[in-house]
Each structure stands twice: as structure tokens, then as C-alpha cells.
Structure 1
Amino acid sequence: MSGTTHVFTVSAPARLDVFLAAQPPVSSRAQAQRLISAGCVSVQGACQQNKKYRLQPGQQVALALPDRPPEPELLPADIPLHILYEDDCLAVVDKPRGMVVHPGAGGERDTLAAALLSRYGRGGLSSVNGPLRPGILHRIDKDTSGLLLVAKTDCAHRQLAQQIEAHTFDREYRAICHGGFQSDAFTLEGQIARSPKDRKKMAVVGEGGRYARTDVQVLEHLGPYSYLKLKLYTGRTHQIRVQLAHTGHPVAGDVVYGPKKPALGLQGQCLHAAFIGFIHPGSGAYMAFESPLPPYFTRTLALCRAGR
């Protein structure tokens, strides 16, 4: 295995993963356990993949860190953007369905981040989230449409991120989901983590996840479907999609968490980020923005109303 090897001498009895997590190249116990499982750790020259292995004083532990693959470069892409508002601190973007926010493992190029880079340049966007996510404060899924807040300076980014962390950044969505509800207003809350069955998906879990809360209002009963307003208190990955699917009411068109055959002729989940509100980091004034329902959503809503 190519890479860098670190050797440590044990000074006191310890569990292997606990010992490894305390060493400078390792950032957490979870990372230590992944490295052990991957065969990157040896004790006294022998590969050790038991995270609970008991180390004794004087033993040598070798950690072989593989070379990190080079990060993909973000290149500017001249893609038109719908900017609702902008000033020296920030911009509010209305993202179309089908656009990825920033490149991931798939190496996507025509992303919102690439379009922002083309429009503003690196000097005109915050650098807090690294070179692949210039200006990106938060994200919405590829097939979710609607509003995103972009930071132009590092100072604005940090102040806005604090609002997201403190749950004072207002976000509301509209969705059409499968099934009906007995109550017209309720709250979905619990813990969300990576699915133990499919690491590409998220799931509601009993423990070990991150707290997630969504306040739900039923705007319209549409026979086999419901039209919802959803207010995010937290912003976990796939939060609305996962929580609704967990209740047996997946978002219409969501082939990841719902029926594999898209409902109502949809090409992706019928989910729209319709409203954001926040305190401006420069003026201190509260600002609010709304995005009207896009054509794919209004067509689906009309189809549901006609068939109920």
C-alpha cells in the first residue's frame, strides 16, 4: 500500500481504536475504526483488524495511511442563474430542478458552484467551505428546486452559518407526497443517520444519529396524495424525504425513498424550497424571499386536483 506509515509505541494498556484515535494523524474514533477495518493498522508487525484488541505497554502500532487521491478541480461554467437578490455580502439564488449544488464523488461539472465561480470569481465568493464549494452555505438536492443563500465573503459566511446552527435561519418547502394524514398540522422529529442497509441513503434511527425536526402543515388533501408546507428546524441530509418516507408518505417522484416507478410522470421528487428568511450579516435587518412554484410542480398539482 502506498502512502505514509506512522509508528507509535504504547505506554499504557488501551483498546486499539481508543489508542489510535488519540494519535495526531487520526481525527476521531470513528476514523480509527474505519482504518482498522480497512487493514491499515498492524500491531508488532501483524495486521490487526479487531478494534477491541487490547494493547500492552511496549507494543508498537503501525498506521499506514494511503495516499489521498487528488481533489477534482472546480472549473467555472457559464450557466445562467436566476438571482433574486444580491449585494456585497450575499446572493439569493433560485435553483432549477436537475442542477447539482457542488461537485461530489461523481465529479459533476455543470454545478451551481461552477456557475457561481463563473459569475463572481473566487475573489467574489467565501472560501470557508473549501475550493469545491465557493460561497456555498447550505445545499438542496439535485432534483429539489428552489432557494439557496450564497455567501460572498468569509465574514458573511460565518455569521450566516451561525444562524443556521442556531436554528434562526428560516426555511420552508412545498411538497406533494403519497397518502393522506389524519391531522392537518404535526411535527416530525427524531434522529437521522446513514442507513445501515445502504450507505448511499439516510434513515431515521433510534440512536447514534443527528436530531432532525420538521414542522408540517397539510395545505390540501388530494385523494391519494397530499400537498404540504414544511418548515425546517434542522437541515440534515435528505431530511424531509427521509422523514416523510419513514411515516409511509414518501415525496411523490422520489425513487430513492419511495416507489421505484415515479408517480404522476415526475422525474425526481416533487419538492420545492419556497421560502428563506435570515438576518442580514451587514445591516442586521431581517430579509425574506419567496420562490413561486415552478412549472413541474404546478403541473403535478393540477393533475392531482383533477384526479381527486
Structure 2
Amino acid sequence: VKLTEMFKDKTIEKRYLCICKGNFKNIKGRIETLIGRDPKDRKKMAVVTENGKVAITNYEVVDSVDNFSLVEVGIETGRTHQIRVHMKSLNHPILGDSTYGNPDNIAKRQMLHSYYLKFNHPITNEELIIVGDLKEDFKSVAKRLKLDIKKVSRLNK
């Protein structure tokens, strides 16, 4: 119960890595929009101007090569498909995301991975940091594109 409250209270820091198509104009940014049902396709979410909920995503490009970027993402809100929708809104859809991008032969699935959690233990209040391993297919796609995962500082601790 306490952990559920911590997610709601935004006292848990969550970080993700994704491989996006294209090269970003700004290597760091904050996206603050409303996200709601896509008026053209009710099965999808979209950045909307009304009838949506506030969604806040912070991103930083960790590495980039021709036409691809390795991006670290932190979210302040947890909306459905938030990272995927926000990356698409910047015209940098996540590689392999057939819903919010275009299918391709490089990745068999969307290249989005949750890898970092930081929070205080609900009972002892001790700060806990959990860093998950990246999936092999994610590492393999990054390597094939020549994106350097070693540049992700939180993975090197």
C-alpha cells in the first residue's frame, strides 16, 4: 500500500531508456502537454488541447548517430503511453513502436526500457536505488546502430 502511495505522490524517481528515430535539435528538454484519447483513433493516446490530463516528461539525449538517438527519459506523471506519445510529438518516435511510429526491420519491438528506480524504503526510510539490466535485444539494437550504452551514467554505478 505504501509503495502504491509513493507512485501516486511522485516520490519514486523512474527513468527509462529509449532509442528514438532521428536526431534531436535540443539535447535536453521538458515536455509538458495534455494527453488524452486520440480524436482520430480512440484506441490511441495523443497530445490534445482539451479533455486530457497533464503529462510531464523530461529527456536528455545520451548518444546519437546518423538518424538515431539514445535518450534517457524521466517522467513526472504517469499517463498511458506518455513517453511514446511525447517522443512522437517531437517527431522522434521510438524505434520499433508500430502504434506511434512506423514498423521497421531494425527492431522487433519498441525500444523503450524502464531501468532505474529511486525511492526511500517505506519502513526504514533508507534510500534505495534499483538499476535493472537492459534486455539483450535492446543492447543488440543499440550496438548495431553504434549507440554507446556506456554513456548512460546511472548504469555505471
2:112 counterpart of 1:271: yes
Deviations 1:196-228 (A, max 9, x none): 111111111012111111110100011101000
- Give the corresponding residue for 2:154: none
The answer for the alignment partner of 2:53 in structure 1 is: 210
Q: Which runs of 5+ in 2 are unaligned?
A: 148-157
TM-score normalised per structure 1: 0.46
Q: Is the 8 A contact 1:171 1:277 kept in 2?
A: yes
- Tell me which of 22, 26, 38 is aligned to 1:179: 22
| The one of 238, 254, 262 aligned to 2:97 | 254
Higher strand share: 2
The equivalent residue for 2:145 is 304
Partner SS, residue 182 of structure 1:
coil
Q: Distance in 1 between matches of 2:105 and 2:44?
A: 20
Describe how 1:95-244 pairs up with structure 2 within 5 A.
Answer: 157=1, 159-244=2-87
What is the DSSP-based 3-state SS (H/G/I as helix, E as strand, rest coil) of the residue aligned with 2:43? coil
- Extract structure 1 runs of 4+ deviating beyond 4 A: none
- CA 1:225–1:263: 2 relative to 1, 3 Å: farther
How far apart are residue 270 of structure 1 and its match? 0.3
Larger RCO, structures 1/2 (Cα 8 Å, 6+ apart) = 2
- 2: distance between equivalents of 1:222 and 1:239? 25
Q: Is the 8 A contact 1:189 1:214 kept in 2?
A: yes
Distance, in Å, in 1 between the alignment partners of 2:8 and 2:132 is: 23
Conserved? CA contact 1:252–1:263, under 8 Å: no
Higher alpha-carbon Rg: 1
Once the 2 structures are TM-superposed, how far is the Cα of residue 244 of structure 1 from its aligned partner? 0.4
In structure 1, C-alpha distance between the alignment counterparts of 2:81 and 2:104, rounded to whole Å:
18
CA RMSD of aligned residues (A): 1.3
Q: Secondary structure at the match of 2:59?
A: strand
Does the Cα contact within 8 Å between 1:274 and 1:290 map onto a contact in 2? yes
The alignment status of 1:288 with 2:151, answered yes or no, reads no
Q: Distance in 2 between matches of 1:219 and 1:292?
A: 17
Report the number of matched residues.
147
TM-score (ref. length: structure 2) = 0.88
Which residue identity does 2:111 align to in structure 1?
C
In the alignment, residue 119 of structure 2 is paired with which amino acid?
F
Contact kept? 1:262, 1:268, Cα under 8 Å = no
